[in-house]
Amino acid sequence: MTISALSALGEFSGLYRPATMMASNDVLALPLHGAQQNTTQKEQPTFGFTVKQWKFRSPASMTVFVGQCFVDDKGEEALRAAWLLREEVGSPKENWKAVRFGTNTFTRIK
């Protein structure tokens, strides 16, 4: 994942590469858009962002991430997030299989 610097309103954008896509030869970055609490008010702010998986995946899906940025006593940042993926299905009878959830921890590449 690569994210831009925060705007004055706490908004950011970037690119997300799911692990499932990294395993294949077809590594494509997906656009992400999000927002974070004002870091001048909170040392370890909460955030949220969406990833729209459009052309690269069938069926189409949308993933939302919510989490918090933690900074340890050595100054190392870790974004800990929960995610919810909603996949497009053809009918209400298939709704049971349309949602997945999980967690991720993101750290800076050194």
Tens-place pLDDT, residues 3-21: 888 898 899 999 988 766 5
pLDDT number for residue 61: 85
pLDDT for residue 11? 94
Alpha-carbon span 5 to 11, nearest angstrom: 8
C-alpha count within 13 angstroms, C-beta hemisphere, residue 101: 5
Q: What is the DSSP string of 25-67?
A: S----EEEEEEE--TTT-SS-EEEEEEEE-TTSSS-EEEEEEE
pLDDT block averages, 10 residues each, the chain of length 110: 88 84 65 84 86 71 93 91 93 94 89
Please indicate, yes or no, whether the overall pTM of this predicted structure exceeds 0.85.
no
Domain ranges of the chain: 2-107
CB 56 within 8 A of CB 21: yes
> In the CATH scheme, what is the code of domain 2-107?
2.40.128.30
Q: Is the peptide bond before 59 cis (omega within 30 degrees of 0)?
A: yes
